[in-house]
Amino acid sequence: MKLSELEKLDSQDSLAKYKEEFLLPENTIYLNGNSLGPLTKRSKSRTEETLREQWGNDLIGSWNKHGWIDLPLTVGNKLAPLIGAKQGRVICTDSVSVNLFKVFSAAFHRNPDLRKILSLESNFPTDLYIADGFAELLQYQNITVEKVAESELDHAITSEPAIVLLTQVDFRSGAALDIAAITELAHKHNCVVIWDLSHSIGVMDLKLDNWNVDYAVGCGYKYLNGGPGAPAFIYIGNDNLADAKQALQGWMGHKAPFEFSTNYVANPGINRFQSGTPPILSMAALDAALDLFAELGTQELRKKSLSLSESFLALMDSQETFSELKLASPRNPQLRGAQLSFSHPEAYGICQSLQEKGVYTDFRNPDVLRFGFSPLFLSFVDLYRCSQILAEIMLDKSYKNQKFAYKNKVT
């Protein structure tokens, strides 16, 4: 692809104006929004205001005066359109890991005959760890966790009713599962589905209500730019909210927390999926970042991110210099999320070399280099510059430098 073609794509890009909403350092090309979204101007000023004006001046009165107590639901309602959910079905709370535990407990409570959690062996490890921990805790109920290869998934779903736990977009390869089709198949075989949307929300065209998804969880700090450790969310679909019961029934999920009654009575709505006090500083940063998405449709976000990844793939395909980087993502754009992965024996060194030159990607064990295509702050010309810097590195082999021999804690 020529520079002029990419400049033309930028000039026609209806989302180009969003770039100025972000506070990225000069000469930085950030292809890591799939791991930690960058800071927005809105989150910065909102966090400062929350610290100084609200916490600083209005102190504890802020719980009422600034709506802190309602923030988990306020944010949940802003998340809802991004996943195709009605208002009142989404709550912002805790981490994905903790939320999975709550959702398992709700799903098993509602479907006491089910004895199995079915997932993929390639699923994000925290999902599998929480499933195993949950099953071990309930060992006397003989709950098993079955982890199968993707090629065996359909067969496993049709063989025995289970709680099917899947992540739509694979964090290693970027491959995307078909939520609508798998959910339909699962329901036909009396299974219940839990979808992890951590690598989906903000970049995929999601319609959870229409697809009859039972439960979903997802992340606030990736494509949503909510900040490091931003709180996650829970979606409760179909009629699963009525009488839903979850095990981490803390006071913030109580119908009237400030009555301080001895016995738990659940909030009638989605608030019952909260446990403890919400992290207001983090949640305010996410809340502000979400305002950027207010006027955007999920189709528009998906279209731009695919157009970015297709352009990048064209740049990679057109140069012999890149032949050692093997595409580890589906070539068909419809079968992947907003990410491209390439495998190379020295992927870690390449990632570190790129970062020294202002190009952010990340590395995943054992040999994967990931590029994330966030639609709101990347331009097409950014991709051109990235490909030039990557070409330099592949030619001068700076990735072989000894200083990259030992990996950092976070890769």
Ligand X SMILES: *Cc1c(COP(=O)(O)O)cnc(C)c1O
Catalytic residue positions, numbered? 124, 196, 221-222, 370
Using the rule CB under 6 A, is 313 a contact of ligand X? no
- What secondary structure, in 3-state letters, does 170-212 show? CCCCCEECCHHHHHHHHHHCCCEEEEECCCCCCCCCCCCCCCC
Between residues 127 and 362, which has the closer beta carbon with respect to ligand X?
Answer: 127
d(C-alpha 222, C-alpha 199), whole Å? 7
Identify the DSSP state of 256.
-
Between residues 103 and 394, which has the closer beta carbon with respect to ligand X?
Answer: 103
User: Which of the stretches 91-99, 144-152, 174-182, 322-330 binds ligand X when contact is defined by CB under 6 A?
Assistant: 91-99
Q: Are the beta carbons of 162 and 144 closer than 8 angstroms?
A: no
* Nearest approach, Cβ of residue 221 and ligand X (Å): 8
* Alpha-carbon distances, residue 181 vs 69, 171, 210, 213 (angstroms): 38, 21, 12, 11
Give the helix/strand (H/E) hosting 49.
helix 41-49
Using the rule CB under 6 A, is 95 a contact of ligand X? yes
Q: What sign for the dihedral angle of Cα 121, 127, 131, 133? A: positive
Using the rule CB under 6 A, is 328 a contact of ligand X? no
Between residues 127 and 287, which has the closer beta carbon with respect to ligand X?
Answer: 127
Near ligand X by CB under 6 A: residue from 216, 219, 286, 394: 219
Near ligand X by CB under 6 A: residue from 122, 126, 212, 343: 126
Between residues 230 and 347, which has the closer beta carbon with respect to ligand X?
Answer: 230
Q: Are the beta carbons of 213 and 223 closer than 8 angstroms?
A: no
Tokens 């006027």: give the residue. 295
Between residues 172 and 255, which has the closer beta carbon with respect to ligand X?
Answer: 172
Could you tell me which of 272, 215, 297 has the C-alpha nearest to residue 73? 272
Annotate each residue in 282-301 with x if it binds ligand X (CB under 6 A) or - if it does not, as one string.
--------------------
Annotate each residue in 129-168 with x if it binds ligand X (CB under 6 A) or - if it does not, as one string.
--------------------------------------x-
Using the rule CB under 6 A, is 411 a contact of ligand X? no
Kindly give the pairing relationship between strand 116-120 and strand 163-167: parallel
* Nearest approach, Cβ of residue 222 and ligand X (Å): 6
Near ligand X by CB under 6 A: residue from 127, 287, 362, 382: 127
Between residues 122 and 388, which has the closer beta carbon with respect to ligand X?
Answer: 122
Q: Are the beta carbons of 176 and 204 closer than 8 angstroms?
A: yes
* Nearest approach, Cβ of residue 193 and ligand X (Å): 15
* Alpha-carbon distances, residue 369 vs 119, 174, 362 (angstroms): 25, 11, 6
* Nearest approach, Cβ of residue 299 and ligand X (Å): 23
Q: Which two tokens stand for residue 32?
A: 């890591």
Most distant CA pair in the chain, distance: 70
Contacts of 239-244 with C-beta under 8 Å, sequence gap 24+, read 240/106, 240/107, 240/110, 240/214, 240/215, 241/89, 241/269, 241/270, 243/110, 244/106, 244/109, 244/110, 244/272, 244/273
* Nearest approach, Cβ of residue 131 and ligand X (Å): 12
User: Which of the stretches 71-79, 90-98, 111-119, 293-301 binds ligand X when contact is defined by CB under 6 A?
Assistant: 90-98
Q: Are the beta carbons of 216 and 195 closer than 8 angstroms?
A: yes
Near ligand X by CB under 6 A: residue from 124, 235, 293, 342: 124
* Nearest approach, Cβ of residue 242 and ligand X (Å): 27
Annotate each residue in 168-197 with x if it binds ligand X (CB under 6 A) or - if it does not, as one string.
---x------------------------x-
Tokens 């998804």: give the residue. 213
Total of chain residues touching ligand X, rule CB under 6 A = 13
Using the rule CB under 6 A, is 198 a contact of ligand X? yes
Length of the chain (residues): 411
Q: What share of the chain is helix, strand, coil (3-state, %, to 5)?
A: 45, 15, 40
* Nearest approach, Cβ of residue 52 and ligand X (Å): 28
Q: Residue 176, Cα to own-chain centre: how many angstroms?
A: 13
Between residues 232 and 313, which has the closer beta carbon with respect to ligand X?
Answer: 232
Binding to ligand X in span 96-115, by CB under 6 A? 96-97
* Nearest approach, Cβ of residue 144 and ligand X (Å): 21
Between residues 124 and 384, which has the closer beta carbon with respect to ligand X?
Answer: 124
For ligand X, the binding residues (CB under 6 A) are 95-97, 124, 126-127, 167, 171, 196, 198-199, 219, 232
